[in-house]
A and B are shown apart, each in its own frame.
Chain A
Amino acid sequence: MNPQKRFVWAFLFFLPVLFVGVFFYWPLLKIFSHTLDGERINEFWSYLSSKPFRQIAWFTIWQAFLSTVCTMMLALPAAYLVARFSFPGKKLFQALTTIPFVLPTVVAAGAFMALFQRFGLDQGMFRLHHTVWALLLAHIFFNLAIVVRTVGSFWAGLDPRVEEQAKILGAAPWHIFRKITLPRLVPALAAAASVVFVFCLTSFGIVLLLGGPTRATIETEIWRQAVWRGDISVASVLAVIQLGAVMVMVLIMNFLQKRQAVVESKVELNPERASRKLLVGNILLLGILVGLPIVILVERAIGVGDGYSFQNFSAMADRISLVPLSSLAALKNSLLFAVVAAVLAALLGGVASFFVVHGNRWLSNFLDFGMMLPLGVSAVVLGFGMLISLDTPPLDLRSSWILVPIAHALLGIPFVMRTVIPTLRRIDPSLRESASLLGASPSKVTKYIDFPIAFRALGVGAAFAFAISIGEFGATSFLPRSPDRLTAPLVLFRLLGAPGEALRGQAMALAVTLMVITAATVILIEGSVFKRETIRSDF
């Protein structure tokens, strides 16, 4: 390898490594050193055995477990419907169930607050707001889609003739489900359940807004200790524990996903038409759980007094005394940050993907894993780490606006890499060889073959990063020091927490605006995924 080439590869490797190193691993190290360093280790152990901690830990696990069980049970009928039946509007049905998953958490919390308020569930005997039940409902709302998607597609791959055979042998439907279908679904169920469990374990915005001040999980406690009480030590201890818990779950998930690889021989049978009972039942269930909060959110946004108008939306330009900047200004900040985050993620993720596919084998595995990890730790830990580490020169970035897009880019890079790497890998080697034999030097092969083919995937990845950035709340809640750099989710959080009818109306308008922006981004992504040309050669 000539020196010039060596330099290019080194650059491709060290650019992303430097970025995650400084903005992710260094903060992570800071958290650990805060906790495990010298005498602090004793504080660590004593905190672990304290009553407040045990309460928080117990509540965190308990709510995550219950949320997961409820989500799984409610998702199964919809997964069955999607896997085994055809019905008019199936595509639309699938698209609609995906919406909650991409909604910003603060928006979802806002939707449930609107729902409770509309039906008088925010106070009195049937109060749901600031209860565990509110948490559960919101977690179900959020996670139903991934379970329906992953379990549904796995279920569709199972041979239905096995069930038919059991039916011919005289087994009752419930018996067939329990003895034949359920055991075969176990790998998919376990994988989906562990994903949901991790989401609920690291859920932040939902718990903060719907659970109320008395219900803390490890995640919200990190935030409370760090931002409100300024107790960095306790926050670090909690962050280390949270990291450990998430890592264990990720290991379990990896194990389960490997087991899921066993798939039965696929069959292409025309799916039956769904019975009316199944269809109506599912649509009612999902309509109430998923549709209703969104509909009420929109209704509340345009509801003014007893009538409807767009007054709440036009009021978004006005600054309100309780919040340092107007909703519109916050939206502008968010859009700017999202664009910067998307560009950063596309650039660094693109470079890293190229190295992972074409670079040194050992280093690529290292890079691939190292760039994925920010997605594995919770956003709160990410934000907290940045808060406590990037405050000394030469990296005193705490007062700089760039920290927010950087944090968002860290979360967006894995999405960019997961779309670009498979596309680069699918490029048939004979395409590159053909180009080379037509006279293209290696750098020209990259320019004319790899780049154009991967470009679309890069766009999709960047759009993902954009959508993540627009709605990101957990990491962001630690970051902006200057009040005029608040993002839309942060302002929404403050608006939702403040009392008063006018503020509530404005919060709903802002939530709807955020929802429309993320939904539009996702529709754009889905559209381009469907239209993507096959990148394999025709053989």
Chain B
Amino acid sequence: MLRVENVKVPFDGTYVLNECDFEVGEGEIVVLLGSSGCGKSTLLRTVAGLENPESGKIWWGTQEMTEVPPHKRGFGLMFQNHALFPHRNVGENIDFGLQILRMTGIERQERVDELLSMVDLDGFQNRKIGSLSGGEAQRVALARSLAPKPRLLMLDEPMASLDRALRDRLLADISELLRELKQAAIYVTHDHDEAFFIADRIAVMHNGKIEQIGTPSEVWSNPSSEESARSMGHENFIELDDSGRCEIGQLGSSSGIVLIREDGLSIVPEETGIKGEVISAVFRSGITLVKIRVGKIELSTSIQGSMKVSEIVNLKISDSAVVALS
């Protein structure tokens, strides 16, 4: 449905977006994942029509959208700061898009009621914007963006201003709602857990480019670059010498950087593994995050049970968890 082709957006002599290419299918949720400043918000704004690309095209099906102004694209955007209209109450905020569509009064009222119950805010119609909590404001913003039934909904770091507990609950709610509505969506975040939770596919962004795109398990198991791996939370990067060796052993055939995914790192009882020293152990909800030093290399993983600092352990690395990075 949505197709972004070779989009370039200049800024201050460089490109915030450099040849971005991706697609969003019908009812699909694509997450743009990347650290701050990687261009993901700009990409969103370009799709919305708030930024103009220097070159490249944006398509909706067979219709070219590149030159279409934002209010005629039929796309919705939910801002990080929610951007609720302060001079309108909750109901009037949700009603805004419907008013523009010139629906009749009765239809509009029905739609507002429907949306309020969709986001669990029944009875909030006449509340003032200033009286809402962060979570409530966020749900009003969601309802407002969904009201005119956008062809594509874009969410720009919607959880950024919320605290942890609230974030997990709202994320589940949003995810469920979008799937129920079969809503095509682009969701921007820097948090990989959020991305894995909500995405059908993840597009990993770095330096104005899309590094790779795939399902959460694809991109997690096979990151294409170090940046891509880092933005998904991987930590164990090892530099190999010309013959593909390092202090742990032979991990490749030539020089370069490899990733050892933590799912391939295990601690074994027998003396067969590689010896390492525990340099930190942090308990977190049922598992222990440990850092183990082998020579100069530090490896992180999580284990069941507890472990003490400066304990000597035996490590086993499964070959399938070693990923060569570009």
Contact = CB atoms under 8 A, between A and B. Distances in A.
Contact of B75 (A428, A437, A442, A534): A437
A452 B87 contact: yes
Contact of B81 (A437, A444, A534, A539): A539
Given A434-B77, A441-B71, A537 B82 contact: yes
A433 B85 contact: no
Interface in B89-128: 96-97, 99-101
Contacts of B144: 434, 438
Interface in A442-475: 442, 444, 448-449, 452-453
A439 B79 contact: no
A437 B48 contact: yes
Interface band, chain B: 35 or more
Contacts of B101: 439
A423 to B, nearest CB: 11
Interface of A: 428, 430-431, 433-442, 444, 448-449, 452-453, 533-539
B137 interface: yes
- Could you say which of A437, A453, A537, A539 has the most chain B C-beta atoms within 10 Å of its C-beta? A437
Contacts of B130: 533-534, 538
Contact of B70 (A437, A448, A536): A437
B82 A534 contact: no
A431 B70 contact: no
A349 B173 CA distance: 47
B69 to A, nearest CB: 8
Contacts of A435: 85, 96
Given A439-B97, A538-B129, A533 B86 contact: yes
B83 A440 contact: no
Contacts of B99: 448
Given A439-B71, A448-B96, A534-B130, A434 B83 contact: yes
B166 interface: no
A425 to B, nearest CB: 15
A436 B96 contact: no
B76 interface: yes
B296 to A, nearest CB: 44
Q: Lowest 9 A-B CB distances belong to which pairs? A: A539-B81, A438-B97, A430-B83, A439-B100, A434-B83, A437-B77, A430-B79, A436-B70, A452-B87
A538 B81 contact: yes
A376 B52 CA distance: 43
- Could you say which of A438, A535, A536 has the most chain B C-beta atoms within 10 Å of its C-beta? A438
- Could you say which of B72, B76, B100, B137 has the most chain A C-beta atoms within 10 Å of its C-beta? B100
- Could you say which of A430, A439, A453, A536 has the most chain B C-beta atoms within 10 Å of its C-beta? A439
Given A436-B71, A437-B71, A537 B77 contact: no
A436 B71 CA distance: 5
B100 A538 contact: no
B156 to A, nearest CB: 9
Given A436-B71, A448-B96, A538 B77 contact: no
A453 B77 contact: no
A418 to B, nearest CB: 21
Given A434-B77, A439-B100, A538-B130, A428 B71 contact: no
A440 to B, nearest CB: 5
A430 B97 contact: no
B85 to A, nearest CB: 6
Contact of B86 (A439, A440, A453): A453
A538 to B, nearest CB: 6
B223 interface: no
Contacts of A539: 80-82, 161
A179 B77 CA distance: 57
Given A439-B72, A442-B71, 19 more contacts: A431-B85, A431-B86, A434-B77, A434-B85, A435-B85, A437-B73, A437-B75, A437-B76, A437-B145, A438-B144, A438-B145, A439-B74, A439-B97, A440-B71, A440-B100, A444-B100, A448-B96, A449-B85, A538-B132
- Could you say which of B84, B87, B100 has the most chain A C-beta atoms within 10 Å of its C-beta? B87
A537 B81 contact: yes
Contacts of B79: 430, 433-434
Contacts of A535: 86-87
A535 B145 CA distance: 21
B295 to A, nearest CB: 48
Given A433-B70, A444-B100, A539-B161, A438 B84 contact: no
